[in-house]
Amino acid sequence: MNDRQSTTSQPDDTDEDVTAAVLVIGDEILSGRTREANAGYIAGILTAAGIRLQEIRVVADDQDDIVNALNALRSRYSYVFTTGGIGPTHDDITAQAVAKAFGRSIDVDQRALDLMLPYYQTRGVELTPSRLRMTRIPDGADLIQNRVTAAPGFRIDNVFVMAGVPSIMQVMLDQVLPDLKTGRRLLSETIKVSAPEGDVADLFTEHQNAFPAVTMGSYPDFTGGVIRCELVLRSIDAETLSRAAAALRQKLSEIGIRHV
Amino acid sequence: MNDRQSTTSQPDDTDEDVTAAVLVIGDEILSGRTREANAGYIAGILTAAGIRLQEIRVVADDQDDIVNALNALRSRYSYVFTTGGIGPTHDDITAQAVAKAFGRSIDVDQRALDLMLPYYQTRGVELTPSRLRMTRIPDGADLIQNRVTAAPGFRIDNVFVMAGVPSIMQVMLDQVLPDLKTGRRLLSETIKVSAPEGDVADLFTEHQNAFPAVTMGSYPDFTGGVIRCELVLRSIDAETLSRAAAALRQKLSEIGIRHV
């Protein structure tokens, strides 16, 4: 049984670029059966925390696919967050695959057992062999507690292994956030334009060239059958962002394009 | 200008395993600003068509990220479907990146111009330099028409480049589907169980072992604050699937677990 001390690093706010990837594991997403609901949530939380999400991958419940994706992502980004595949059934193979990716052994973990036993005993639920699978944690991992159903996730190095059920994933993410180092928060300003993208694209490109330190994106908006767009400006520097947004509003007004 | 003849292969129904990946391109998804809405839709359509979606990736509006992901995916799967980044603004770099991934040149395409000019002329809209960017198509690609806003997508080899706006992506996908070779359709049967996964997991694992040709997955269901689960059986063979599902229902009944 694993019974290691925590090796989690302390939080460390920094000016460095802190990056992340999300790895979603589950056949049910790829078949279209289940709508993926976690990656967008994690994206919003990480962005707000100053961590730049650079990639999302969804792979099947297949050990090689999980190992290959995880090894590619964990070497490339500061953090990797996985969701899915840590339940009690035979198709839940994430913990095993993560252990393999790290070359670690995996076994029933006393700490996980200590968390789960009282939960089941209180409810008069039997700890079947299948449920016992959820106590299998790779050697050297730190547990991520789960206040909803007791079965924990875990952290190993820069990889956070979380549940696929959104309500459980969210309490796990809440719990690990204070441990993450965070970069400077990316600020954004959105200008809603009452015109199609094509009407403002030339001006917008010029504006991007005039403010290279501000990242600018344009997103079409087809709601209500009217073609409009939103121009989004992003920067880690509030003053530069504010100047760039004000100048863009001014230019839009000058050519008579309504915006809010 | 590109003006090549179509090189699209004919549809070809087959027993072989036809696989696919979806590559979603866009900073707005990774920042959490926009909820990704295309991959799940494509997943459902491909599954129904007998094409096995094996991977989804989301990358930023960054040329290297797009090129690397596209080259990894197009060599691994029968088809790759990209969404996003083919609009008129400077952050729309997908066509350029796809050309680079294939080592092809890219220029204004006469066929794309022929599609877009009448659309703009009818509406009295100016074909600005930014809008003209949407006629830039890699050499040797086939166009995918867009009945919504005229600006086309394109196919090059096994890669289909589509818009990010869901309504436009969907008409593009409708249009390319008849050209795809399809495998045997994966059939599925879902059993809704009025018990948590852990109560049936041992039985379910035994059942998976008894029917190795049927892929079985269990998905927890926490709706309404009650912990239940759904057991999903999948097979390309209707008769085997039916037998496996009937036997599982029988086993659940024998141990007194309600299911529908």
Residue of B nearest to A219 (CA): B28
Spatial distance between the Cα atoms of B71 and A21, rounded to a whole number of angstroms = 19
CB contact under 8 A, A201 and B130: yes
Domain presence at residue B260: no
Number of domain units in chain B: 2
**Location of structure tokens 């006629």:** B135
Averaged pLDDT for residues B198-217: 93
**pLDDT grade for B14, boundaries at 50, 70 and 90:** low
Spatial distance between the Cα atoms of A192 and B181, rounded to a whole number of angstroms = 42
Domain presence at residue B166: yes
Averaged pLDDT for residues A204-222: 92
Domain presence at residue B11: no
Kindly give, in sequence order, each residue whose CB lies less than 8 Å from that of residue A8, ignoring residues fewer than 6 positions away: A142, A155, A179
* Residue A159 shares a structural domain with residue A197: no
Residue A216 token pair: 């600018």
* Residue A31 shares a structural domain with residue A126: yes
Domain presence at residue B154: yes
**Location of structure tokens 């809405």:** B37
Number of other CB atoms surrounding residue B209 within 10 Å: 10
Domain presence at residue A75: yes
Domain boundary among B137, B156, B179: B179
Domain presence at residue A83: yes
How many angstroms from the chain centroid is the CA of residue B91?
A: 23
Is B5 strand, coil or helix? coil
CA-angle at B38, arms to B36 and B40, nearest 5°: 95
Rounded (10°) CA dihedral B46, B50, B56, B59:
-50
Question: What average pLDDT is seen over chain A?
Answer: 91
Which domain, by its residues, includes B96? 19-179
- The CATH number of whichever domain residue B204 belongs to comes to 3.30.1370
H or E element that contains B172: helix B166-176
* Residue A24 shares a structural domain with residue A59: yes
Domain presence at residue A174: yes
* Residue A169 shares a structural domain with residue A191: no
Number of other CB atoms surrounding residue B186 within 10 Å: 16
Pairing of strands A142-144, A136-138: unpaired
Number of other CB atoms surrounding residue B257 within 10 Å: 15
% of chain B exceeding 90 in pLDDT: 81
Q: Is the pTM of this model over 0.80?
A: yes
Q: What string of DSSP letters covers A68-81? A: HHHHHHHHHSSEEE
pLDDT at residue B13 above 60?
A: no
CB contact under 8 A, A130 and B205: yes
**Single-letter amino acid code for the residue at B246:** A
Query: Which residues of chain B does A61 touch, with a Cβ-Cβ cutoff of 8 Å?
Result: 217
Query: Which residues of chain B does A24 touch, with a Cβ-Cβ cutoff of 8 Å?
Result: 56
Domain boundary among B130, B160, B179: B179
Structure letter (DSSP) for residue B52 = E
**Strand stretches in A139-226, DSSP E:** 142-144, 153-156, 159-162, 187-193, 215-221
- The CATH number of whichever domain residue B101 belongs to comes to 3.40.980.10
- Residue pair B155/B9 in contact (Cβ under 8 Å)? The answer is no
- Residues recorded for chain A: 260
* Residue A175 shares a structural domain with residue A234: no
* Residue A155 shares a structural domain with residue A201: no
- Residue pair A45/A173 in contact (Cβ under 8 Å)? The answer is yes
* Residue B173 shares a structural domain with residue B201: no
**ipTM here:** 0.89
CB contact under 8 A, B29 and A56: yes
Residue B42 token pair: 């494509």
Domain boundary among B179, B207, B240: B179
A52 φ, ψ to 5°?
Answer: -90, 110
Number of other CB atoms surrounding residue B198 within 10 Å: 26
**pLDDT grade for B225, boundaries at 50, 70 and 90:** confident
Side by side, the strands of the sheet bearing B215-221 are B187-193, B228-235, B215-221
Structure letter (DSSP) for residue B92 = -
pLDDT digits (tens, 9 = 90+) for A8-64: 444 555 567 899 999 999 999 999 999 999 999 999 999 999 999 999 999 999 999
* Residue B31 shares a structural domain with residue B84: yes
The answer, for B197 touching chain A at a CB cutoff of 8 Å, is: yes
* Residue A73 shares a structural domain with residue A172: yes
Domain presence at residue B83: yes
CB contact under 8 A, A43 and B57: no
The answer, for A49 touching chain B at a CB cutoff of 8 Å, is: no
The nearest CA of chain B is from the CA of A18 a distance in Å of: 14
Query: Which residues of chain B does A87 touch, with a Cβ-Cβ cutoff of 8 Å?
Result: 197, 201, 218, 220
**Location of structure tokens 């909803």:** A148
pLDDT digits (tens, 9 = 90+) for A105-132: 999 999 999 999 999 999 888 888 999 9
Spatial distance between the Cα atoms of A242 and A250, rounded to a whole number of angstroms = 12
* Residue A93 shares a structural domain with residue A133: yes
Residue of B nearest to A232 (CA): B28
Spatial distance between the Cα atoms of B11 and A239, rounded to a whole number of angstroms = 56
* Residue A160 shares a structural domain with residue A96: yes
CB contact under 8 A, B45 and A32: yes
Candidates B41, B53, B128; nearest CB to A202 = B128
The answer, for A33 touching chain B at a CB cutoff of 8 Å, is: yes
* Residue B159 shares a structural domain with residue B210: no
Residue B145 token pair: 């028409």
B36 φ, ψ to 5°?
Answer: -70, 130
CB contact under 8 A, B227 and A149: yes
**pLDDT grade for A223, boundaries at 50, 70 and 90:** confident
The nearest CA of chain B is from the CA of A199 a distance in Å of: 8
CB contact under 8 A, B220 and A188: no
In A77-157, which residue ranges form alpha helices assigned H by DSSP? 94-102, 110-123, 129-133
Strand partners, B52: B19
